[in-house]
């Protein structure tokens, strides 16, 4: 494993929480708590758009393509929260995510299922029995990830949480190890 220099250095006395914007009760929020050990708050897009609080990082769950050509509620919240955070985690697998990543005023950490320009890219995604498997590629490192799945595979929940953890200086090997552990099975089981 190579030493990494973070683009988003963590301040040791930083007590700001991480925000997850989405529908609430998500696997992403539970995974971020597990991977980072940090406080994670879940917000609806409306709560996020009205928030004036400072956040350590913002992860927006925006996996469904918007029905209209305009910004989704999650995207609008992401723009608002960009002024109050060090880093925003953005998925690149839809046009809205790519547009926001290119224009975001805050630092951006990107993830994707297959787009090599992302900071974190999932490669060779497969379902095997009761597991979801993929290779996580970041900064020249390639690591195999094996995670449980309940009723449906939730690749984007895992990618968003893993990208959030990496943006917050959690080493890839450490995060992947936590995803393979017993605590994850409890986290995934309680959310699924």
CA–CA gap between residue 62 and residue 146 (Å, rounded): 23
Beta-carbon count within 10 A of 146 CB: 13
Lowest mean pLDDT of 66-70, 89-93, 140-144, name the range. Answer: 66-70
Contact between 163 and 120 under an 8 Å Cβ cutoff? The reply is: yes
Query: In the block, which residue shows the tokens 């597991």?
Result: 131
Rounded Cα distance between 120 and 122, Å, is: 7
> Where residue 2 falls among pLDDT bands split at 50, 70, 90?
very low
Supply the DSSP symbol for 17. Answer: P
Please give the sequence-ordered ranges of beta strands (E in DSSP) within 45-185, or none if there are none: 57-60, 87-91, 107-112, 120-128, 131-138, 141-148
pLDDT score, position 180: 85
Residue 56 has pLDDT above 80, yes or no: yes
**C-beta separation of 148 from 130 below 8 A:** yes
Statement: residue 17 has pLDDT above 80: yes
CA distances from 101 to 38, 90, 91, 109, 143 (A): 24, 6, 8, 8, 25
64-99 burial by CB neighbour count: b if 16+ within 10 A, else e? eeeeeeebbbbbebbbbbbebbbbbbbbbbbebbbe
Across the beta sheet with 40-43, what order do the strands follow?
A: 40-43, 18-21, 57-60, 87-91, 107-112, 120-128, 131-138, 141-148
Q: Rounded to two decimals, what is the model's pTM? A: 0.83
Domains assigned to the chain: 18-191 (3.40.1190.10)
Question: Comparing 73 with 89, which gets the higher pLDDT?
Answer: 89
- Residue of 67 and 192 predicted with greater confidence: 67
């Amino acid at each position: 494993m190579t030493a990494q220099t973070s683009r988003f250095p963590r301040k040791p006395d930083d007590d700001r929480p991480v925000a997850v914007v989405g529908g609430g009760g998500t696997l992403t929020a539970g995974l971020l708590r597990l991977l980072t050990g940090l406080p994670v708050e879940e917000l609806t897009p409306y709560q996020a758009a009205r928030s004036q609080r400072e956040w350590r990082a913002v992860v927006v769950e925006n996996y469904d393509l918007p029905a209209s050509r305009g910004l989704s509620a999650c995207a609008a919240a992401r723009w608002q929260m960009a002024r109050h955070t060090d880093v925003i985690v953005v998925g690149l697998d839809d046009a809205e995510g790519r547009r926001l990543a290119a224009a975001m005023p805050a630092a951006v950490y990107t993830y994707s299922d297959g787009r090599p320009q992302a900071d974190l890219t999932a490669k060779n995604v497969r379902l095997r029995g009761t597991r979801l498997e993929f290779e996580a590629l970041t900064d020249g490192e390639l690591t195999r990830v094996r995670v449980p799945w309940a009723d449906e595979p939730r690749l984007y929940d895992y990618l968003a949480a893993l990208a959030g953890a990496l943006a917050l200086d959690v080493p890839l090997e450490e995060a992947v190890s936590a995803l393979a552990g017993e605590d994850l099975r409890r986290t995934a089981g309680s959310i699924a």
